[in-house]
A and B are shown apart, each in its own frame.
Chain A
Amino acid sequence: MTTTNRVPVVQGMFAETPQGPRLLGSKCAACGAPYFPKSPVCHNPECSGQRIEEVQFGPRGKLWSFAVQYYAPPPPVKYDEPFAPFAIGVVDMPEGLRVLGRVAVDDLKKIKIGMDVELVIDHLCSDKDGNEVITWKFRPV
């Protein structure tokens, strides 16, 4: 028996912390603008702040909108064969971040705009070496 390795889809984007899953981002110390992924500088043209702090976002948010993908998308989008429809959400987090993430839900019809969601680290696909590729998603609370 081999054990399945859990591999993040991209390193350094998210983490399982003792407090639960978090997105790894940054924030401008001057204007408070949140960035995900981390940004070494502030992009707000109205701000001349020079200091960026590393921050963790999560776990709560509200679903601003979503779409359900009903056809197999072209590369580099990752999914398991055979393709099954999945939902992509746009979530407003209390830290002022509007962020994309798949919606982790069994019944795609139950997704509603405005619903409360929480961050989870979940299966994205299996790679050719048998590793489980994981990413962040949002699950209805």
Chain B
Amino acid sequence: MRDVAVLGVGMHPWGKFEDKSVTQLCREAVQSALKDAGIQWREIQAISAASSRFSGGKGWGLNGNDVIEDMGPTGAPVYNLSAGCAAGGNAFNVGYSLVAGGLYDIVLVVGGEKMPKGFIQMSGVQEETDPEYLRQVCVGMPGPAFWGMLCLRRMADHGTTEEQLARIAVKAHQAAQHNPNARFRQLFTVEDVLKSRVVSWPLRLYEICPVSDGAAAAVLCSAEVARKHTTDPVWVASSTVATAKFNDGIPRGLATVVPTGHTEHSEATTAVKKAFEQAGLGPRDVSLIELQDNTVYYELAFPEEWGFCEPGESEKMVERGDTVPTGKLPINPSGGFLCFGEATTAMGVWQVCEITGQLRGQAGARQVPDAKVGLGQTLGLGSNATAVILKR
């Protein structure tokens, strides 16, 4: 395996852009990544793209093909990756593997999305053999209710308070106010969050990420190429993909088996632990985490499932202010999904852009001091998860 560098990153700001197509959002992100990398479009040797279910891609998730047609058909190979909300992370992993394996020297990873309004829509498949369809017609458990159910169990296990949940949302917005690419940058107090309406008890509107339009791109390259452009590149320490284990206790369809041990998000745990192993790093080496906070609950569950703290300690980290950009373990100094809104398949690439900015010291008022190692993680329907560790 060869060393792989992140040569350039670029994104289109997150928001609602009625007058732009997803391909246009991607073009702006790609152009900005190429400029950041200091290379021309024709130098891209392969494209690894996240497949969207919501926009573009000729209805077949061929979003990478839309990008190459739009930017200029060079004949380069295109890989379109589908993994629910983890698709951006999967696309990154394939792009990384193509360079690490020596197949190509310069690869573009891209993800873009224009989302329908409201909370994320259901599968659209209306077949009784589809577990997601069955779950929705027989019971009805949209995303926020699924997250609410997990959060309420944590509250029962660890005594998590509504104020602690609200505090995580407050922290996210404090970071996002300084991020020009974030969509929701207004400041909230704990009271503001607690006054926002309950969407799925125990979760409130400001504690759940909405959906957004956005696009992100990254240029990955071999060490040899990187050295021609910069003396101090950001390196990919590891990139992993995983799916869930049989008995982790989280019902992803209508039912699962009662676990023998602790209930956990095994797809994310596996991806993150594998990423540590492959990078030869551990939680103590991490300067910042960009994790998938579809809701504030994940900022409590994930750090302990990944070995950053003991079970039940996450609430104390929040109370102590450990997770702010200048704290002991900064979590989502970008503002996270909460302040960007989820442009589903773009998120894994967006995390790479945010972490790269931090490691280069370009994050301005939300800069994590002396950031050396950043961990990114996504989670998607179908029990997909990805992790990436970037280092300086």
Contact = CB atoms under 8 A, between A and B. Distances in A.
Contact of B254 (A37, A68, A102, A113): A37
Nearest to B155: A113
A75 B142 CA distance: 10
A10 B156 contact: no
A126 interface: no
Contacts of A70: 197-201
Given A66-B149, A76-B137, A35 B255 contact: yes
A78 interface: yes
A100 interface: yes
Contact of B126 (A65, A76, A93): A76
B128 A10 contact: yes
Contacts of A76: 122, 126, 133, 136-137
A132 to B, nearest CB: 15
A97 B257 contact: yes
B119 A69 contact: no
A33 B254 CA distance: 15
Given A68-B200, A68-B201, A78-B137, A98 B256 contact: yes
Interface in A32-76: 33-37, 43-46, 64-71, 73-76
Given A65-B156, A67-B145, A69-B200, A79 B140 contact: yes
The size bracket of the interface on B is 35 or more
Contact of B139 (A43, A100, A113, A114): A100
A15 interface: no
A10 B137 contact: yes
B139 A101 contact: yes
B121 interface: yes
B78 interface: no
A135 B134 CA distance: 11
B290 to A, nearest CB: 26
A93 B258 CA distance: 8
A21 to B, nearest CB: 14
Contacts of B258: 92-93, 96-98
A13 interface: yes
B137 A77 contact: yes
Given A10-B138, A71-B199, A65 B153 contact: yes
A9 interface: yes
Contacts of B64: none
B237 to A, nearest CB: 29
Interface in B141-161: 141-142, 144-153, 156
From A10, A65, A71, A100, name the one whose CB has the most chain B CB atoms within 10 angstroms. Answer: A100
Contacts of A7: none
Contact of B140 (A36, A69, A114): A69
B156 to A, nearest CB: 4
Contacts of A88: 139-141, 145, 149
B328 interface: no
Given A66-B149, A70-B200, A88-B149, A44 B246 contact: yes
Contact of A45 (B136, B202, B246): B246
Contact of A67 (B118, B121, B152, B197): B152
Contacts of B247: 44
B156 A114 contact: yes
Interface in B51-65: none
Interface of B: 118-119, 121-122, 126, 128, 133-142, 144-153, 156, 197-203, 246-247, 249, 251, 254-259
13 contacts: A44-B246, A65-B156, A67-B144, A67-B145, A67-B146, A67-B151, A70-B199, A71-B200, A75-B122, A76-B122, A88-B140, A93-B258, A100-B139
Given A67-B145, A68-B200, A75-B122, 5 more contacts: A65-B153, A67-B141, A77-B122, A77-B140, A98-B249
Query: A-B pairs with the 3 shortest C-beta distances?
Result: A67-B148, A77-B140, A65-B153
